[in-house]
Structure 1
Amino acid sequence: MRLKAEQLSAHLASKGLASVYIISGDEPLLVQESADIIRTAAKLHGYNERRLFYADSKFDWNSVLIEASHISLFSEKKFLEIRIISGKPGDKGSKTLQEYLSKINTETLTLIITPKLDSSSTRGKWFTAIENQGISIQIWPVSTPQLPQWLNRRLNQSGIKANQEAIRVLADRVEGNLLSAIQEIEKLKLLAPERELTGQAMSDIVVDSSRFNVFVLLGKIMESEAKKACHVLQGLRSEGTDATIILWAITRDLRILIKGSEAVQSGEGIDSVLQKLGVWESRRPLVKKTISRIPIERLRQMLKLSGAIDRGIKGTRQGSPWDDLTTLILVLCGIQSFNSRSLRLAIQ
């Protein structure tokens, strides 16, 4: 069964928990919120023992079967969360998931999180097995025309009244960055007056988020402004921004650039591809310029380096994630060569 993210809470309230859920999408905030709703419901229903798996290319899928069959000494109910890094479990993962789902019981709740899935993945046997037994939730980006309505709904949920001009000002400031939008709304909870916000009042309260936010970092990288990009990265670090969020955003752009490059090579219309990928119209010229600047093989190498940084954040690889993020940014800006021995070793 398929649900929209906004239908999840009502479905849980009326139907209760399913045995398995899969959330797919490239919008970190909305993926996180949907996952949190399921995690909260799981706790309320006694699934107190949580086991987390990161399924990359070297993942041992048998560990999922072993964990599912293991009898816990502390809790009768288990909550297994599987994050498929690439979005595709591969042949081994597909077979394991199908076997796992055929044996799953009411004492085990499973949540699977993946990046956005392509049509071939959603037709796969493993995905079909999940939908037959549980719930799939596909997260779609909030487009430019949809953003004001999305912001208005979030403001209302927070008890903040704002007219259309104020909402437009907020939309212009956050530039499609939903994480930044939520931060600004949290700030408005403290600073907004009880009366309806006007455009001027919104401008006075909301600090221009383009100074040190992840969205601007991505822009500086694509503009090949290495010094400014590193300065923004340092600002994000000093503000306590989670390195995982930054890496996720860079990795998402890398995937967009790779798919765009593949479209160019195949002769497919780049604008239609970028539209399907949810790239804002205002960003498309910059994305196309970056695609022409960086060879596709270099982009694929950078995606591998992103995976290495992810392992560093999780503690399964030595190194400083912040130093590695700086290296990644410098290479993408064309300042540092990827041919150095240390970089080649990093992705092994």
Structure 2
Amino acid sequence: MPKIRPEQVAATVKKSLAPVYFVFGDEPLIVQESCDAIRTAAREQAFIERELYHTDAGFSWDELYNSANAMSLFADKKIIEIRVHNGKPGDAGGKAIAEYCASPNEETLLLIVSPKIDARSQKSKWFTAIENCGATIQVWPIGPQQMARWVDQRMKRAGLNADSEAIDILCAKTEGNLLAAVQEIEKLKLVAEGTLIDAHTMTTAVTDSARFDVFGLVDKAMHGDSRAAAHSLQGLRGEGSEPLSLLWALAREIRALNSIREAIDSGEHFDRAAQRNGVWEKRKPLFKGALSRLKTRQLHDLIRKAALADRAAKGMANGDVWNILLDIVLGLAGTRVLSAKNQKLEFRS
């Protein structure tokens, strides 16, 4: 099956479902929306159950064999979703994926989600097996050059039209943060009179933003201001913000930091690594400051906590998602919190 572009996913899966999908990239909003489209189409075709696995500590690729071969109590079709936290399934994972793709279960849809993977991994046996059996969706970052066009398309999808000046204002406000841009567009639908958005309307809407905003939270944490970041998180919670929206914004920066850290440790220059990870020029000092505080081990711990927060928000792990988000915010700010190895992670059956 050919590769599917993210903007084609919703229409493609409505026509027919592949047995295996691999969604990968470092643009959390688009990755999430691509996965949502696949899950929605699968549910419409009676894939009722969903099993979610994360390839962090304690995961075994035997889970794929066991889950695919296990009969459901009610004989429902099911989705097996595996999130490969570092984009590297390893030898055991590569073998398990290739073997599954050689003989997929008709009652199961396998969805694998991962950050971006390198060119070498895209030539591996397991990746080729997915291409031969199912479909791959590669999500590319939206850079400064593409941002205006993306915002324009998103506005039209929301039933709004904006002139070029208004679009430039929104791009400048959100600085490449897609989730933030979507939130602003949703707000415009509520406050704008009519469907035509000009520069004045956009400026007014941006000026009237809520006191606490997602980017402010992330920037305060990245700056190392733990007190202000925790205060922003509490404010966002009080305003009824969705925890998953905050998590996407935090996880995006944490993954970028981790990717840049790995690149620097491998000898790559910071500027090149930052550009490759979609870091805008204005935000480079913020990333440099965060990297000066955070070690590789701390970044990996934050990635694990983000995965736990995702599960808790979806009712698949015990624990208060807001407490976990606070841990993430404080950890990103460089404040020492309870070590992951001392946390008891209890999963709901």
Band of TM-score, shorter chain: 0.7 to 0.9
Deviation of 1:317 after TM superposition, in Å, equals 6.5
- State the partner residue of 1:102: 102
Deviation of 1:254 after TM superposition, in Å, equals 2.6
* TM-score, normalization by structure 2: 0.85
Contact preservation (8 Å) 1:309, 1:325: yes
- State the partner residue of 1:218: 218
Instruction: Write the letter of the residue equivalent to 1:346.
Output: Q
Residue pairs, 1:172-321, within 5 angstroms: 172-194=172-194, 196-207=196-207, 209=209, 211-306=211-306, 319-321=319-321
- State the partner residue of 2:4: 3
* TM-score, normalization by structure 1: 0.85
Deviation of 1:23 after TM superposition, in Å, equals 0.8
For the residue of structure 2 that corresponds to 1:146, the secondary structure is helix
Deviation of 1:119 after TM superposition, in Å, equals 2.9
For the residue of structure 1 that corresponds to 2:291, the secondary structure is helix
Instruction: Write the letter of the residue equivalent to 2:53.
Output: Y
- State the partner residue of 1:345: 342
Contact preservation (8 Å) 2:25, 2:114: yes
Aligned: 1:55 with 2:41: no
List alignment gaps of at least 5 residues for structure 1: none
Q: Tell me how large the CA RMSD over aligned residues is.
A: 2.9
Deviation of 1:344 after TM superposition, in Å, equals 5.3
For the residue of structure 2 that corresponds to 1:145, the secondary structure is helix
For the residue of structure 2 that corresponds to 1:190, the secondary structure is helix
What do residues 305-344 of structure 1 show as CA deviations (whole Å, max 9, x unaligned)? 545555655677765443343334334334x346x7x665
Deviation of 1:224 after TM superposition, in Å, equals 1.4
| Range 281-290 or range 308-317, more displaced | 308-317
Deviation of 1:199 after TM superposition, in Å, equals 0.3
Contact preservation (8 Å) 1:55, 1:89: no
Distance change (3 Å), C-alpha of 1:43 and 1:306: closer
Distance change (3 Å), C-alpha of 1:61 and 1:266: closer
Contact preservation (8 Å) 1:24, 1:139: yes
Instruction: Write the letter of the residue equivalent to 1:243.
Output: P
What do residues 88-113 of structure 1 show as CA deviations (whole Å, max 9, x unaligned)? 22322222222222221444322222
Aligned: 1:158 with 2:158: yes
Between the aligned partners of 1:257 and 1:234, the Cα distance in structure 2 is 24
Between the aligned partners of 2:20 and 2:51, the Cα distance in structure 1 is 14
Distance change (3 Å), C-alpha of 1:24 and 1:163: same
Deviation of 1:216 after TM superposition, in Å, equals 2.1
Deviation of 1:179 after TM superposition, in Å, equals 1.8
Aligned: 1:143 with 2:143: yes
Distance change (3 Å), C-alpha of 1:251 and 1:347: farther
- State the partner residue of 1:42: 42
Deviation of 1:137 after TM superposition, in Å, equals 0.3
- State the partner residue of 1:65: 65
Between the aligned partners of 1:276 and 1:261, the Cα distance in structure 2 is 12
Deviation of 1:170 after TM superposition, in Å, equals 1.9
Distance change (3 Å), C-alpha of 1:198 and 1:20: same
**What's the % identity of the aligned pairs?**
43
Instruction: Write the letter of the residue equivalent to 1:7.
Output: Q
Deviation of 1:248 after TM superposition, in Å, equals 4.1
- State the partner residue of 2:87: 87
What do residues 238-294 of structure 1 show as CA deviations (whole Å, max 9, x unaligned)? 233343443443333233223323433443221111111121222122212322343
Deviation of 1:135 after TM superposition, in Å, equals 0.7
Deviation of 1:223 after TM superposition, in Å, equals 1.3
Between the aligned partners of 1:312 and 1:37, the Cα distance in structure 2 is 22
For the residue of structure 2 that corresponds to 1:112, the secondary structure is strand
List alignment gaps of at least 5 residues for structure 2: none
Distance change (3 Å), C-alpha of 1:187 and 1:243: closer
Instruction: Write the letter of the residue equivalent to 1:126.
Output: W
Instruction: Write the letter of the residue equivalent to 2:12.
Output: H
Distance change (3 Å), C-alpha of 1:255 and 1:160: closer
